[in-house]
Amino acid sequence: AQKITQTQPGMFVQEKEAVTLDCTYDTSDPSYGLFWYKQPSSGEMIFLIYQGSYDQQNATEGRYSLNFQKARKSANLVISASQLGDSAMYFCAMRLWETGANNLFFGTGTRLTVIP
Amino acid sequence: ETGVTQSPTHLIKTRGQQVTLRCSSQSGHNTVSWYQQALGQGPQFIFQYYREEENGRGNFPPRFSGLQFPNYSSELNVNALELDDSALYLCASSLELTGPGNTIYFGEGSWLTVV
């Protein structure tokens, strides 16, 4: 069965510091994609970054990078130079190729609080 | 701004009633998915519509149904509402199924409270 695990219910980080949010996944499907979304209190899920299972390099998008360790089945999100606006819920999600649908499996999320 | 719009943003219904939620997908996106997010949880996949047909369904009962229209907008209908249906309902859109990396964009959601 497919599963996403986020073990950090809450994290605190000082403004301008870097923070790592953990995500591990479980699937027997060789083809999958891993996503990170940010969810402010308004509710909208904002796409941050994507990593494919066959990608050779770790994905980066501005201040966001994904530390992909395939053998350990982990896909941690690194946010550099944290800003107050980064305070939100962060969800890791996985999509499988074989399901043939845009069915994202989500973790339970990590609430990030940036301290001034 | 993702271009995915949902309505209404908030609503309150009574147990046993029916509700319809609406979604306009991002321009050019022909695939729409619906998710239910209970308080303190991650979103759960309800179903997906591709070119006006249901194409994939999660573990939700038949009283959760949907439609997709020729302009790719979509509706989620829930009959016989139960208290546990209280949640944030998210609509997501994407391009044709081109692979696991097909980016999926979400709307701001509809907050449903069942009393």
Could you tell me which residue, A12 or A32, shows the higher pLDDT?
A12
Confidence of residue A98 (pLDDT cuts 50, 70, 90): low
pLDDT of residue A4: 96
CA of A81 vs chain B CAs: smallest distance (Å): 23
- The answer to whether A68 and A51 have CB atoms below 8 angstroms apart is yes
Q: Do B99 and A97 touch (CB under 8 A)?
A: yes
Instruction: Give chain B's mean pLDDT.
Output: 91
- Contact list, A46 vs chain B (CB under 8 Å): 2, 106
Q: How far apart are the first and last CA of chain B?
A: 32
Phi, psi of A82 (to 5 degrees): -55, 145
Position B98 pLDDT exceeds 90: no
Residue the block writes with tokens 């179903």:
B47
Kindly report, residue by residue over B21-64, the tens digit of the pLDDT.
999 988 778 889 999 999 999 999 999 998 889 988 999 999 99
Confidence of residue A100 (pLDDT cuts 50, 70, 90): low
The beta-carbon neighbor of B58 closest among A32, A33, A103 is: A103
What residue in B sits closest to A91 (Cα-Cα)? B42
Q: Do A47 and B109 touch (CB under 8 A)?
A: no
Count of pairs with CB atoms under 8 A, one residue in A, one in B: 86
- The answer to whether B23 and B29 have CB atoms below 8 angstroms apart is no
What is the C-alpha to C-alpha distance for residues B99 and B66, in angstroms, rounded to an integer?
24
Average pLDDT over residues A24-33: 91
What residue in A sits closest to B47 (Cα-Cα)? A103
pLDDT of residue B30: 85
- The answer to whether B107 and B9 have CB atoms below 8 angstroms apart is no
